[in-house]
Every structure is written in C-alpha cells, then in structure tokens.
Amino acid sequence: MSGEHVPALGPRLVFFTGGTALRDLSRELTRHTHNSVHLVTPFDSGGSSAALRRAFAMPAVGDIRNRLLALADSALVPQSVLAFCARRLPCTGDRRALRQELRELGGEGHALWASMPGVFADALRLHLIFFLERMPEDFDPCQASLGNLVLAGGYLRHKRDFGPVLAFFSRLLQTRGVVLPIVDESLHLAAELADGSRLVGQHRFKNLSQPVRRLFLTVHEPERPGRPACAGPAICPQTPCRPPLAGAAAAYLSSAGAICYPMGSFYTSVLANLLPQGVGRTVAAAACPKIFIPNSGRDEELRGLSLTGQVDMLLRHLREDAPQARTEELLQYVLVDSRHGRYEGGLSAEVVRGLERRGLRLVDREMVRGDDPQRHDPEPTARALLRLAREGSAPGAPAA
C-alpha cells in the first residue's frame, strides 16, 4: 500500500484506532495535515461485518471504510459518491429480494449510477460487480453497507490483498491521509476475563461480565448467536496467536512524527491494535512523542478501570512484544481536560501522582465539549495534539 497520492504536507501523526470515536477529529486534522496515518482494527465481528466475514473468512472492512470517508476530500468528491459508500440496505423483507436488489445495482442502467460522474460510477460499479461475482447464494444482505461490499469486492479480486484496493479507493476519494489495517489476516479479538472465563468476538465486548485480564487474537470464530460464551480456558481452548504487523503499517510507525493512542473503545478500538507481533518493538524504536488521549465520559469496556489502570494495561500489552522497553519509549504524555473531562475513576491528586511515578507527563488542555463530556471537540483537540507533537519532538522541550 502506498501513500504517494497523499501530499507530504504537515506532521505525520500515526493513530491506533477503530470505530467512530476518531471520525470528527480525523476530519478536523485534514485542515492541518494531509499526512495523518490511521492504523485500523480489522477484527469487528458484529452486524453486517459478521455476514461478510462468515461468507469469505476475511478481515472486517467497516472501520476502514468509515475512516476513508472521514478523510475524503468533500470539495473534490461528489456527495453522491460519499452517500453511496455510506448507504446501507434495509433489514426488512425477504433476503432473496434484497440479494436481487444488489444484483440489479450491478447493472449499468441502474438509476443510482446516473446521480454521479461516470469515472466514479464506473469504479464503484466495477468493484460491486467483483463482489456480486463471488456473493454466496445464501449471503445475508441485512443492513449491508455498499461501501463495505465494494471494498470486499476489490479485496477478493486482488487475491485477498488490501494494498491495491485501499490505494485505489484512497485516490478515488482523494483522502487526506492514509488508512491501513493493522494486520492483513482474518482474526478475531478475544479476552480472558478476571474470573478465568474467555470470550471471542469484538461484538461481545459491549456486555462484559467481568473486567478484562488480558486480550489476545485467535483464528477461532466467535460463537454463533444463541450459543453461550465459553466458561473457561479448559472448555474453550482458543489458541492465542500473534500475527505480524502489516509491513506498510510498520513503515509508517517507524517514520512517525508522533504516535497516538486516541480516544475510542479502550479494548476494541485501541488496545486491539497493539496485539500483533512487532507493534511494541516498532513503537519503542520510533524517535517521536507517544501520546495517550483517554476517553472522557462513559466507556462500557472499562468497568471502573482507572486512568492509571488504563496506562498500565496499555504498557503491559506493548511489553508483550517489547519486554525490555522503557516506559518513555512506549508512552510519554497523557493528554486530558481537567475542566470538562469526566474520566473513569476520576482525575484525583492520587491519580496524577500515579502517572508521575510511572514517568509520564500529564498535559491539561480544554478539549472536551462543555455540554457533552462524552465527546471531544475536534478543533481544540487537534490543536492540542499538534502542539504537543511539535514541542515533544524538540530535544529537551518541556511538556506543552
């Protein structure tokens, strides 16, 4: 995967990310840099992604599609194109009728294509045809994202290689940044919980019964709907695996101007990206600021895990790959908003001292919306992050 279409303008900020929490900040960052890099988790196992994964044993593409659209240049790309990529099929009616609707979309004369310029219509329709040629007869199209289907079509057409299809769609959408999966393999996120039980499937993290003891990846598929989760390792012996960090992702991490563990679902959007082999070592070797932006408001995955607990969990998973790495090689700054932010466990003096004992610098900036502590305001958050990236990269510079 090449980022040659992205202007080398502005600092290279590399994010471990997934989901939608970073979408608004991603759009804001395009005003400051066209050089941001988004390493995305391809482990989603719920919703329409599950249907694609069951049909083709492929990585999830939903979060990749979401981030490509967030970085698209809306001044150059017609709204009809962006709307097509975000459009979903309904979840009502007969499945065969929905599959037939999909097949009709592949026709050149379909009214949907008349709403967009030919170069965009031809590219999207071609990739949809790639998918339709491989669509199983029993494929479940309920709530299927058309953008996901065209990405899946390109992925399958290119012999299960994300590189060509992501390069092509990045050019088509004129993305002001780079979007890559953290690994190229089809794997699932799993966790060992505090009581020794295990669960498999990113979608199961929405209703955790116990705090998470550790995360891992596995080739085993999640339990099918209606089947209970595993009661313990002896009953559910999924084999943890450590796939290699994708080569392009490693190259961008090595050349980062700053590495950010941003807000987002703590386990499924952020820590999941730290599990592949090579992530911890590559982060430790990168000579740049490393910044954690914790969630403000409610994150159902945390279950009372304090800010110091989150830092410890982040460092522990990085050190599984880089056991000798010093803390300052993996994380240096924790970026918070003490005025408007609402952090799990609070931001007490004891928490602050705990971060300082770990050798971290707490940087306090107004970034969280005063009327909604669940959301970061994109503009001041981008400004705070960019300032810290600049000042943190200067030798001997103090925290911003």
Amino acid at 123: A
Find residue 17's DSSP bridge partners. Answer: 40
Amino acid at 39: L
Give Cα 291 distance to the centre of its chain.
16
List of E strands, 145-247: 178-181, 188-193, 198-200, 212-218
Q: Give the residue among 221, 366, 292, 329 at the shortest CA–CA distance from 16.
A: 292
171-187 tens-digit pLDDT:
999 999 999 999 999 99
Domain ranges of the chain: 64-178, 247-392
Angular region, 140: left φ>0, alpha ψ -120 to 50, beta rest: beta
- End-to-end alpha carbon distance in the chain: 34
Residue 396's contacts (CB-CB under 8 Å, 6 or more residues apart) are none
Please report how many Cα atoms fall inside a 13 Å half-sphere around the Cα of residue 26, on the Cβ side.
32
Find residue 376's DSSP bridge partners. Answer: 368
Beta carbons of 263 and 378 less than 8 angstroms apart: no
Q: Give the residue among 188, 243, 177, 174 at the shortest CA–CA distance from 15.
A: 177
Q: How many CB atoms lie within 10 A of CB 39?
A: 27
| pLDDT, tens digit only, all 400 positions of the chain | 333 343 447 889 999 999 889 999 999 999 999 999 999 999 999 888 899 999 999 999 999 999 999 999 999 999 999 999 999 999 887 889 999 999 999 999 999 999 999 999 999 999 999 999 999 999 999 999 999 999 999 999 999 999 999 999 999 999 999 999 999 999 999 999 999 999 999 999 988 889 999 999 999 888 654 444 454 444 455 789 999 999 999 999 999 999 999 999 999 999 999 999 999 999 999 999 999 999 999 999 998 899 999 999 999 999 999 999 999 999 999 999 999 999 999 999 999 999 999 999 999 999 999 999 999 999 999 999 999 998 876 544 434 3
Q: Is the CATH code 1.10.357.10 the one for domain 247-392? A: no
Burial class (CB in 10 A: 0-12, 13-18, 19+), 244: middle
- Would the pTM count as exceeding 0.85? yes
Beta carbons of 166 and 228 less than 8 angstroms apart: no
Question: What six digits make up the tokens of 147?
Answer: 């953008």
Q: Give the residue among 45, 16, 37, 20 at the shortest CA–CA distance from 217.
A: 45
Residue-level length of the chain: 400
